[in-house]
A and B are shown apart, each in its own frame.
Chain A
Amino acid sequence: MGGMLWLIVLLPLMGAAVNGFFGKNLPKPAVYAVALGSTGLSFALAVLAFMELVAMPADARVVNNVIYDWITAGDLNVAVNFLLDPLSGLWMLVVTGVGFLIHVYSVGYMSHDRTFWKFFSYLNLFMFSMLMLVLGGNFLLMFIGWEGVGLCSYLLIGYDYHRTAAAVAGKKAFVMNRIGDFGFILAIMLIFVVFGTLDYHGVFSQAHEKLVAGGTVVTAITLLLFLGATGKSAQIPLYTWLPDAMEGPTPVSALIHAATMVTAGVYMLCRTSILFNMAPFTMTVVAVIGCATAVFAATIGLFQKDIKRVLAYSTVSQLGYMFMACGVGAYVAAAFHVMTHAFFKACLFLGSGSVIHSMGGEQNMEKMGALKKHMPQTYWTFLISTLAIAGIFPFAGFFSKDEILAETFGSGHTALWVIATVAAGVTAFYMFRAVFLTFHGKSRVDHEVEHHLHESPYVMTLPLIILAFLATVGGFLGIPIIEGANVLHNFLGPVFAQGAEHAAEHGGGHSLELELGLMGLSLGVAITGIALAYYFFLKNPAAAERMQKSYQGIHTLVFNKYYIDELYDWLFTRPIVRASREILHKIVDVQIIDGLVNGVASFFMGLSSVARRLQSGLIRDYALTMAVAFVLLAGFYLWGGR
């Protein structure tokens, strides 16, 4: 198995290279074969590797595979090594599995695209980067993957590069991620200075001996890491790129901006949980930011008209839950939610893609309605996933979200728990709003679009069905209450064991009654949300309009996403660009520095016009000059030369 890890990572890269270099001249089936073959094989190998990992004894499930030395400079030695343990194993399976399904789906979705070979090349390159991020055995490799997925995100958001909106959104995503990376890279350097290595094992095994729990250094490291995570995982204050990223093709939104890449920040926190557990202040920051993002993004999701934007804000919101979980030390719950979220959110995005595909590119839900009868498979899978995200028993989201809420309650962050529970209700409301507006009620579809409506081909619906199935049963991996039934806890537990004294306290600590009560409560909140959505958008749409009219101000504010983009533009972008152009370039560079240089130049020109008179061409003048010079030189040697 040692030989397989690098192959799992490298296969997608080879696929990307083949399609990138030769795809243009290959027949369509060959491009598909390369793209799907490489990811499919990578997935198969991942499953094998995972099975071998599971077969190992529970406390020894670590495979570390060194390939070669990458950068050696003095005592800095960074290897290319891959690390497989339960944590990276879980992520590896999600990435390759969901990734493969989305590749399959893309065959149908991108069938009319002119440069589909390029699309698949980018998609494969993304898989490579993401696997590098997850399986890399040291911080720098994670950083490579981290930047690599950012690059692919940039390329794929701006895939329709001739649309300026897409190109701009791609750039925005990259730059905002770079702001986060600024923190990540500083954290890496601080880690190296403290530990003298960047290897996970070296760092984590020395954490308790080289760092003081609660001290400034570990707080700084974790805060900087978390800054990186807010960029990649679209948390406050760096979340604004993710909704804009919806400019990319829908499979991209599903794969990168829902299921995998945006969870990289959660992976990072889980991976470095030992450090985070030593920094209570950072933990509080993480929990608060996560909770704030969860509720903030959920409210924006309430009034969006674009189906993909609704899903984007719900992604931001769900990521907030995951961070809140990390912040209260419930890493297993966070990882659990990452997994179930990958299933249902990928399914939702692909479902929306199926709708958009059928509607000829229309994304506005106000122009949809009653699509249920035209595309039943899409409808049912979409509905199942919506039930999952809303947290309805027994769908996957119920278990993972409930675990997060219960852990938050158990950790004593009651305020966070209240807010997050309310946000869960909001989520159920706006997600069902989307379902009702899209699939139920009266059709508001344009006439010429109406008779093009069709269910998507099998190559697209099959991934939907598989994902919907996973969204249904995925939660059973983490069944609470029953002793020993929480498979995921038993599996991931040892990874977090080292710093888990504090997590274990509230892990399974609370009573059965309490746990059942919490469950009932969150279920009740979700059902209330659904009922309200039913009332406003199906039963009595006029009421929704009346509400909107009477709270026009709030509606405008929220519909415009609280004007955060405008605020950032006004606070940062404009002043920096203006100052650079008007002050730095036009004044400092051109007037001050160049003015000085030109001044010196004209001074010397003036001087030389004086000097030119010396060259009068008269021998008498030259003779005089020579005589003076001789006297001076002689004087220098006689008196000054000693």
Chain B
Amino acid sequence: MLLSAVTFIPLAGVLAILFVGAKNENLIRIITLVTGLADLAASLLLWTGFNDATAEMQFVERIPWISGWGAEYYMGIDGISLLMVILTTVTCVICYLATWTAIERNVKEFNIAMLVLQTAMIGVFCALDFLLFYVFWEMMLIPMYLLIGVWGGKRRIYATVKFFIYTMAGSVLMLLAILVLYFEYHSRTGVYTFDILKYYGLGLDPVLAYGLFLCFFIAFAIKVPVFPFHTWLPDAHVEAPTAGSVILAGVLLKMGTYGFLRFSLPLFPEAAQAAAWWISWLALIGIVYGALVAMVQEDIKKLVAYSSVSHLGFVVLGTFAFNLRGIEGGVMQMINHGISTGALFLIVGILYERRHTREIGEYGGITRIMPKFAVVFMIVTLSSIGLPLTNGFVGEFMILLGVFEANKIYAAVAATGVIFGAVYMLWMFQRVMFGEVTNEKNKNLPDLTTREFVYMTPLIVLIFVLGVYPNPVIKKMEASVKHLVTVVEKKGACCPPSAHAAENAPAPGVPATDGHEHHAMESVPHTDGHADHTATEEKRD
């Protein structure tokens, strides 16, 4: 129940808001914030209740949903999804605080969109049924389109359309791949199921597997975004309101890298290994290219957006190193990027609310005018460039180490990104914050307000806590990542397909553990493997 509660508490908030008049904006904001806090509290219960000794899915809930199709309401989390869920709940609370005054029109609709988005995002991380996953995935996109398209900047329509085209292209490919898997599974076992875990180790035909891997890869690569699928990101970020940018950078981009971990690697280990070399190169290009292009941006928000391309290149690179440190570092970096880049977008928002511009050239010497803000900005900048004892270092180092173990050249190229990262961040910081105050309009900017201080503080604390003592977080995902690594190694390197077939072979003695079966499409005439049903209900909870 807990997992469903975490997922759907935001929708309860939506329900409450529906009963409030649109004029009563503060009440709406308070409801949203309280909902966010309640959800955060609930997600922390997940953290405390989580058993980090096992890679099994936990807090599992299964209810038949569309039994004719074998679709279930099937939710559960492992260590990786746990961390992503908490990242989401934390980010959302901070966003609700950050948009208190930034959004002035259609406040009711805005808050509803945000809350729906939160449910969808959590759902994506928890769904273990492909159809359910896909529903959450699409559900997440709609509020995001609206956030950019309704509350966005001047070129919001262009940005929304671009975002739409990119993500729809990805979604369609993914849906296609899911359906192929669905029918492929049926043709082998005679069972219709959307159970994601059952698709693991299917031992697909290599060509088919590579094709399906590509479909998933493009869908996720667009989300991440991996070079060259990244050009929607700067536009979306620049046009999105601050909260939209924070959610986009903090959580939405992680859908892509999470997708690699949950689907691409375990579903198609051979294909993933065969494709690793060019994906690694795309990631490396992203790291260097993102950093170089970030360097020459005149718009702070665009600069941060391109820096995301660079940072997430690290995550992808670590993921496709297929070893413990690479993947753990990748997950750490997903969290760190959420914190640091989320914080950077908040900082840009703070500046924008005061001056209504994001041009670097419009600023200069802000340190003297906003000293508290300067400290916060500096800490976040240092975290973004991965200074030791901040969170950024731990993830980057683990990734580099993992990649180094897999391929020294990749690690050396990636490490140059560390240099460029310092260049573009410090250069931007210098131009915005240092020097004399040359622009009259900047002379009377107010320093951080209490509310701004309140929502920046947890991020600053997290930056240091994760930098100084990351082990509790690493421990939560250790078993899950280890399991993932063995799955990829075992399936990819040596074992012939027959090994997988054996796993799916009839084992009559094993009863169904969850008390219901997939009487999937029994009317379909050529269901000959009927006896397999119960056998394929392996123990998983």
B434 on the A face (CB < 8 A): yes
Q: Are B434 and A167 in contact (CB under 8 A)?
A: yes
Give CA–CA (A162, B411) in the complex, Å.
38
Residue from the list B368, B408, B471 in contact with A71, Cβ < 8 A: B471
A370 on the B face (CB < 8 A): no
Write the nearest CB–CB distance from B480 to chain A, whole angstroms.
13
Give CA–CA (A170, B470) in the complex, Å.
30
Given the known A-B contacts A143-B388, A167-B430, A600-B165, are A581 and B435 also in contact in the complex, defined by CB atoms under 8 Å? no
Closest chain B residue to A154, Cβ basis: B426
* Residues of A with C-beta under 8 A to B382: 151
Restricting to A174-205, which residues have a CB under 8 Å from any CB of B?
174-175, 178-179, 181-182, 185-186, 189-190, 192-193
Write the nearest CB–CB distance from B474 to chain A, whole angstroms.
6
Q: How many pairs, one residue from A and one from B, have CB atoms within 8 Å of each other in the complex?
A: 136
* Residues of B with C-beta under 8 A to A589: 231, 293
Q: Are A577 and B296 in contact (CB under 8 A)?
A: yes
Digitize B408-425: 1 where CB-to-A-CB distance is under 8 Å, 0 elsewhere.
100110011011001100
Residue from the list A68, A74, A161, A585 in contact with B367, Cβ < 8 A: A161
Q: Are A73 and B422 in contact (CB under 8 A)?
A: no
* Residues of A with C-beta under 8 A to B416: 182
Give CA–CA (A579, B289) in the complex, Å.
11
* Residues of B with C-beta under 8 A to A171: 426-427, 430
Q: Are A185 and B474 in contact (CB under 8 A)?
A: no
* Residues of B with C-beta under 8 A to A73: 324-325, 328-329, 398, 474, 478
Q: Are B400 and A189 in contact (CB under 8 A)?
A: yes
Write the nearest CB–CB distance from B472 to chain A, whole angstroms.
10
A544 on the B face (CB < 8 A): no
B535 on the A face (CB < 8 A): no
A206 on the B face (CB < 8 A): no
Residue from the list A74, A181, A585 in contact with B296, Cβ < 8 A: A585
Give CA–CA (A74, B470) in the complex, Å.
14
Q: Are A174 and B394 in contact (CB under 8 A)?
A: no
Give CA–CA (A158, B435) in the complex, Å.
10
Restricting to B329-345, which residues have a CB under 8 Å from any CB of A?
329
Restricting to B371-397, which residues have a CB under 8 Å from any CB of A?
382, 387-389, 393-394, 397
Write the nearest CB–CB distance from A328 to chain B, whole angstroms.
30
Give CA–CA (A182, B422) in the complex, Å.
12
Residue from the list A70, A158, A168, A600 in contact with B469, Cβ < 8 A: A70
Digitize A83-102: 1 where CB-to-B-CB distance is under 8 Å, 0 elsewhere.
00000000000000000000
Q: Are B430 and A144 in contact (CB under 8 A)?
A: no
* Residues of B with C-beta under 8 A to A154: 426
Restricting to A26-79, which residues have a CB under 8 Å from any CB of B?
68-74, 76
Q: Are A185 and B436 in contact (CB under 8 A)?
A: no
Q: Are A161 and B166 in contact (CB under 8 A)?
A: no
Q: Are A580 and B292 in contact (CB under 8 A)?
A: yes
Residue from the list A167, A178, A190, A600 in contact with B404, Cβ < 8 A: A190
Restricting to A132-171, which residues have a CB under 8 Å from any CB of B?
140, 143-144, 147-148, 151, 154, 158, 161-164, 167-168, 170-171
Q: Are B471 and A72 in contact (CB under 8 A)?
A: yes
Q: Are B419 and A186 in contact (CB under 8 A)?
A: no
Restricting to B447-480, which residues have a CB under 8 Å from any CB of A?
468-471, 474-475, 478
Give CA–CA (A93, B534) in the complex, Å.
72
Write the nearest CB–CB distance from B120 to chain A, whole angstroms.
25
Give CA–CA (A581, B478) in the complex, Å.
42
Give CA–CA (A171, B419) in the complex, Å.
12
Residue from the list A68, A140, A162, A179 in contact with B434, Cβ < 8 A: A162
B228 on the A face (CB < 8 A): yes
B433 on the A face (CB < 8 A): yes
Write the nearest CB–CB distance from B89 to chain A, whole angstroms.
25
Digitize B258-288: 1 where CB-to-A-CB distance is under 8 Å, 0 elsewhere.
0000000000000000000000000000000
* Residues of A with C-beta under 8 A to B295: 577, 580
Q: Are B292 and A584 in contact (CB under 8 A)?
A: yes
* Residues of B with C-beta under 8 A to A185: 397, 400, 415, 418
Residue from the list B325, B388, B404 in contact with A74, Cβ < 8 A: B325
* Residues of A with C-beta under 8 A to B389: 144, 148
Given the known A-B contacts A144-B389, A182-B418, A585-B293, are A193 and B434 also in contact in the complex, defined by CB atoms under 8 Å? no
B143 on the A face (CB < 8 A): no
B162 on the A face (CB < 8 A): yes
Q: Are B433 and A193 in contact (CB under 8 A)?
A: no
A594 on the B face (CB < 8 A): yes
Q: Are A584 and B289 in contact (CB under 8 A)?
A: yes
Given the known A-B contacts A144-B389, A580-B293, A585-B293, are A178 and B162 also in contact in the complex, defined by CB atoms under 8 Å? no
Write the nearest CB–CB distance from B83 to chain A, whole angstroms.
14
Q: Are A597 and B422 in contact (CB under 8 A)?
A: no
* Residues of B with C-beta under 8 A to A68: 469
B522 on the A face (CB < 8 A): no
Task: Report the count of interface residues on B (CB-CB < 8 A).
Answer: 58
Q: Are A161 and B435 in contact (CB under 8 A)?
A: yes
Residue from the list A151, A170, A193, A601 in contact with B387, Cβ < 8 A: A151
Give CA–CA (A385, B165) in the complex, Å.
71
Give CA–CA (A164, B230) in the complex, Å.
34
Restricting to A565-607, which residues have a CB under 8 Å from any CB of B?
576-577, 579-581, 584-585, 588-589, 593-594, 597, 600-601, 604
Give CA–CA (A175, B416) in the complex, Å.
11
Give CA–CA (A588, B289) in the complex, Å.
10
B365 on the A face (CB < 8 A): yes
Q: Are A144 and B388 in contact (CB under 8 A)?
A: yes
Write the nearest CB–CB distance from A630 to chain B, whole angstroms.
22
Write the nearest CB–CB distance from A473 to chain B, whole angstroms.
38
Write the nearest CB–CB distance from A188 to chain B, whole angstroms.
8
Give CA–CA (A580, B427) in the complex, Å.
15
* Residues of A with C-beta under 8 A to B387: 147-148, 151
Residue from the list B365, B368, B471 in contact with A70, Cβ < 8 A: B471
* Residues of B with C-beta under 8 A to A161: 365, 367, 433-435
Write the nearest CB–CB distance from A572 to chain B, whole angstroms.
11
B161 on the A face (CB < 8 A): yes
Residue from the list A179, A193, A581 in contact with B419, Cβ < 8 A: A179
Q: Are B228 and A593 in contact (CB under 8 A)?
A: yes
Q: Are B470 and A71 in contact (CB under 8 A)?
A: yes
* Residues of B with C-beta under 8 A to A193: 404-405
Write the nearest CB–CB distance from A507 to chain B, whole angstroms.
37
Give CA–CA (A275, B418) in the complex, Å.
26
Give CA–CA (A588, B292) in the complex, Å.
12
Give CA–CA (A163, B436) in the complex, Å.
7
Q: Are B165 and A597 in contact (CB under 8 A)?
A: yes
B174 on the A face (CB < 8 A): no
Residue from the list B161, B368, B434 in contact with A164, Cβ < 8 A: B434
Closest chain A residue to B289, Cβ basis: A584
Residue from the list B232, B401, B412 in contact with A76, Cβ < 8 A: B401
* Residues of A with C-beta under 8 A to B478: 73
Write the nearest CB–CB distance from B308 to chain A, whole angstroms.
14
* Residues of A with C-beta under 8 A to B365: 161-162
Q: Are B162 and A186 in contact (CB under 8 A)?
A: no
**20 further A-B pairs in the complex, CB-CB below 8 A; given A68-B469, A162-B434, A182-B416:** A70-B470, A72-B474, A143-B388, A144-B389, A161-B365, A161-B434, A162-B365, A162-B435, A164-B435, A170-B430, A171-B430, A178-B423, A186-B411, A186-B415, A580-B293, A581-B296, A584-B289, A584-B292, A589-B293, A593-B231
Residues of A within 8 A of B (CB): 68-74, 76, 140, 143-144, 147-148, 151, 154, 158, 161-164, 167-168, 170-171, 174-175, 178-179, 181-182, 185-186, 189-190, 192-193, 576-577, 579-581, 584-585, 588-589, 593-594, 597, 600-601, 604
A–B Cβ pairs within 8 angstroms, 26 of them: A70-B471, A71-B394, A71-B398, A73-B329, A73-B474, A74-B328, A140-B388, A162-B435, A163-B435, A174-B422, A175-B419, A178-B423, A182-B419, A185-B415, A186-B411, A189-B401, A189-B404, A189-B411, A190-B404, A193-B405, A577-B295, A577-B296, A584-B292, A594-B231, A601-B161, A601-B165
* A-B pairs with lowest CB-CB distance, top 10: A167-B434, A144-B388, A581-B296, A580-B292, A189-B404, A161-B434, A74-B324, A178-B422, A178-B419, A580-B296
